Amino acid sequence: MIHHTCDCCKQAIDSKNSVRYIVRLEVYASLDPVEEDLSDDRDHLLEIHDILEHLDGDEDAGIADEVYHQVRYDLCSDCRRRFVENPLGRPVSQQFDFSQN
């Protein structure tokens, strides 16, 4: 039996009683041209791929991670709700009134 834990609160996610939610985050440099040039029909993802291909060796891993970063999290339903409410983890100025039934 595969045992999943929430990557946020570290609680076990019991597949019988609760749903496991998967968050996939993809963060990449936009590489937008500085000047507006509508004839520029570049494929930005292809460019990122090219950049990554030219980055060899472990010392460049940090640079590659800045250009393109993908991560996956397992979340329980509570953490999923919190993530959806505030995906960027911004400070919440006012307390939301979540009912705790």
Binding site for Zn ion (CB under 5 A): 6, 8-9, 76, 79
How far apart are alpha carbons 64 and 52 in whole angstroms?
6
CB of 8 to Zn ion, least distance (A): 4
What count of other Cβ atoms lies within 10 Å of the Cβ of residue 41?
6
CB of 66 to Zn ion, least distance (A): 28
Please give the structure tokens belonging to residue 14: 């019991």
CB of 27 to Zn ion, least distance (A): 22
Of 8 and 67, CB closest to Zn ion: 8
What count of other Cβ atoms lies within 10 Å of the Cβ of residue 55?
15
